[in-house]
Amino acid sequence: MNNEKIKSLLDRVKDIVKIHNEHANKQGEKFNIFSILRMDRKEVKTHSNFIYELLNPKGSHGQGDVFLKSFAEIVLNSEVPKTATRPQQEDLTTENRRIDFTLETDKNFIGIEMKIDAYDQWKQLCDYQQELSRRAKNANKGTRLFYLTLGGSEAEQYSHDSTEYECISFKVEILDWIQDCIKQSAEKSVLREALIQYKILLEKLTGENMDINTEVAKLLKDKESFQVAQVIQGALQSAKVELQVKFWSELLEELGEDFYFGNKNNANETRNKNDIRQACQDFFNKTKNQQLGIGYNFKTDSIEPRLMLVHWGIVHYCILQNAKDKGGNYLNIEQQPLSSGWFRSKELQDNYDFTLGSDSEILDVMFDDNKRKEVIKKVADEFKELVEKIKTT
């Protein structure tokens, strides 16, 4: 294929992106309250709470069950839930697990498990289905279990254990629903603007910018341009893999010989760049466990855990092996705990999305040698400090 044709198409797309960026803030679109408060990816505090408030017929939106009915139709392709039984959030099961959302309709008990960055848990969907089945049996109804992610990805085998479930996404179903909610809120300007803010956030997280997509699609009207676009699309993942390989390899070099690259659930300790490349390819292909990163194995009689800087898109620290109950003691410094054994990195922020979407702020780091070296140095210093604190605990 003619390289000049590829370059020409890329240049034209760059022009579209440039024009879009220049005009993107004319109405203040970049002033997004969720992003400003660093709440973009907070699963419960942002997404779960916002969605539940819309689904609740008695919610502060004052729209009754309008949003709930729209959700049932657009997202679940289901009959309207019973208005007498409002949706439940963080619904406790008999196994002391919490289903993100449950709904009851005339025909079904419905459960929705939502994932932004959190990883799947052992037999999570399997247990949820058993809970729904128990409730449905008493009421002589059916069940439906949904798995909601940013892009509609499937759950891990160890979570569903062959349980039937349906995949839905923020990128398609939730965005379509929010757009409908905006239309339904035409006469309530404050509510409408809040919904628009959330819609802009979801477009950022999912890379679903309809304005740009529509303009770029207009360039693909002839066969050759369409084929060029397919070549570019195929090359994009390879480019993302190489960006990750560069970052993790450089961080590993900065940290020193005592650190390794591996998988959270199976160390596979390596410093080989080809092994790192294969792991990053698996990450984007979603063919193996997605929790990869750099680790330190203490390998002493007195300290059991491995400490890993783990990424499955967003990066966090994790205490591994037999010490999750001790994680709070080991890392009781300034890191903010997420759950047992998991802690935030102060240097790799939540808005650094290593899936490398078009709006990810980590791209500014990846493509700027000076910025990347600066971030890597800070992360390496942070990681080494944690190791030393654990050694002296």
Confidence (pLDDT) at 340: 54
How many Cα neighbours within 13 Å face the side chain of 77? 8
Amino acid at 245: V
Query: What one-character DSSP code corresponds to residue 119?
Result: P
- CB contact set of 346 (below 8 Å; sequence gap of 6+): 334, 335, 382
**Phi, psi dihedrals of residue 112, rounded to the nearest 5°:** -130, 120
Closest CA to 129 of 107, 161, 158, 154: 161
Distance in angstroms (rounded) separating the CA atoms of residues 221 and 321:
54
Distance in angstroms (rounded) separating the CA atoms of residues 11 and 225:
13
Confidence (pLDDT) at 130: 95
Confidence (pLDDT) at 144: 94
Q: What is the pLDDT along the chain (393 residues), one digit of tens a residue?
A: 567 777 787 888 777 777 666 666 666 777 888 888 878 888 888 999 999 999 999 999 999 999 999 999 999 988 766 654 679 999 999 988 999 999 998 889 999 999 987 778 889 999 999 999 999 998 889 999 999 998 888 888 889 989 999 999 999 999 999 999 999 999 999 999 999 999 989 988 887 666 677 777 778 888 888 888 888 888 888 999 999 899 999 999 999 988 888 876 655 678 888 888 988 888 887 654 567 888 887 766 555 456 777 766 667 777 755 434 444 444 444 444 445 566 677 777 656 777 777 666 788 888 999 999 999 999 899 888 888 877 776
Cβ proximity of 297 and 306 under 8 Å: yes
DSSP3 helix / strand / coil % (the chain, rounded to 5): 50, 15, 35
- CB contact set of 350 (below 8 Å; sequence gap of 6+): 38, 40, 41, 42, 314, 344
Confidence (pLDDT) at 151: 85
Token couple for 173: 């179903």
Confidence (pLDDT) at 222: 83
Q: Which residues of 301-315 are buried (b: 16+ CB within 10 A; e: fewer)?
A: eebebbbbbbbbbbb
CA angle 17, 22, 28 (to 5 degrees): 120
Alpha helices (runs of H) in the chain, residue ranges in sequence order = 3-23, 33-36, 49-55, 66-74, 124-139, 157-160, 175-184, 189-206, 210-217, 223-255, 273-285, 327-330, 362-366, 369-391
